[in-house]
Structure formats: C-alpha cells, structure tokens
Amino acid sequence: MKPVMLLWALLLALPAHADAPADEIPMYAVSLVGSPYRLGGTSPETGVDCSGFVGHVFRQVAGVVLPRDSRAISEASEPLAQADLLPGDLVFFNTLHRAFSHVGIYLGDGRFVHASSSRTGSVMVSNLNDRYWRERFDGARRVVAPGVAPAVAASAARE
C-alpha cells in the first residue's frame, strides 16, 4: 500500500470525534509519519527520537510538557492494562535491554506510531502484535492532565 493511502486509511480508522482532544493526539501523531529520526531530536522538521516525538505531540496538541526521556515519561503517566488502551495512550518497550527504553502513541486496533531509529529512520506506524514489539512490550500508560483524575480522563476519552 502506498504511504499516502496508508496515512488516509489510518486517519479514517480513528474515532470520528475530531473535536475531542483524545482524538487529536493520534491524528496529529499520524500526520508526522515520515518525519526524520534524530537521537535527542524534538522537532519533526529536523528530526525526533521516540521521547522527543511523544513530547512534541503532547505539547502541540494538549499543551502538556512531558519529561524528556521515555523512562521518565513512564513514571509521569498513569499505568493501565493493555486491554484498556485507548487512542492517544502511550505504549512502552524494552529495546535497549532496559525497561521503558522506547515509547510510542497508541492508535487503536493494535497499532502505534513512534520514531524508529532502526527500521526506517523515521516516524512510522507499527503493530503491537508483531513479534519484535510483542516480545519487548513493557506496558501502557495514560497521560493525565494535572488536576484530572485518571478515571475521569479515561471516561472523557471514551465519549
């Protein structure tokens, strides 16, 4: 499938409530597919690494400033079961022989978007069920705005 067609298919597969912030996060994240990878990068124009990508998306869409590395992001977000994942939640992986060394944004239907250094050298969409990611999955987290209880945020995201 051509990249442009894949992007449209992903955008159309996302929930239709474009006015909800929870939908804006995955939509904006997917719009950055193809942006270059750069270790330590935080800008899609010049390159992003995984935590720089996630931080950029949450800062631009939700005004939330996340810590700069994936482990710190995992500690600053609320744990949740994989079965409770919603689009816009975070997925973490052990890719460097240490916990929470890679992070991406969940899109739904087992897909997530992330800045990959080794596969494409760019922001890409991958599947949680692919053997590589399944074997390295470290958990899921939800970014909760300050002052908002996680249950309230989860319920608002489902509406």
pLDDT of residue 21: 58
Beta strands in the chain (DSSP E): 42-43, 47-48, 78-80, 90-93, 102-108, 111-116, 122-127, 137-142
Cα dihedral 110, 65, 53, 21 sign: positive
Measured between its terminal Cα atoms, the distance across the chain in Å is 32
pLDDT of residue 17: 29
> Is 114 designated active site?
yes
Token pair of 13 as six digits: 């597969």
pLDDT of residue 22: 61
Strand partners, 90: 105, 141
Helix (H) / strand (E) containing 134: helix 131-136
pLDDT of residue 119: 74
Q: How many domains does the chain have?
A: 1
Q: Looking at 17, 50, 56, 97, which residue is catalytic?
A: 50
Whichever domain contains 56, its CATH number is 3.90.1720.10
pLDDT of residue 33: 97
The residues, ordered by sequence, that sit 6+ positions from 156 with a Cβ below 8 Å of its Cβ are 20, 22
Q: What is the pLDDT along the chain (159 residues), one digit of tens a residue?
A: 444 344 434 443 433 323 335 689 999 999 999 999 999 999 999 999 999 999 999 999 999 999 999 999 999 999 999 999 999 999 999 999 999 999 999 999 999 999 998 778 999 999 999 999 999 999 999 998 764 444 445 545 554
127/114 Cα distance (integer angstroms)? 11
- Which domain range does residue 118 map to? 3-158
Q: Are 33 and 7 in contact (CB under 8 A)?
A: yes
Q: Are 145 and 133 in contact (CB under 8 A)?
A: no
pLDDT of residue 87: 96
Backbone angles phi, psi at 28, to 5 degrees: -65, -40
Q: Looking at 17, 56, 97, 102, which residue is catalytic?
A: 102
124 in helix, strand or coil? strand
pLDDT of residue 74: 97
> Is 50 designated active site?
yes
Q: Looking at 17, 56, 97, 114, which residue is catalytic?
A: 114
pLDDT of residue 117: 86
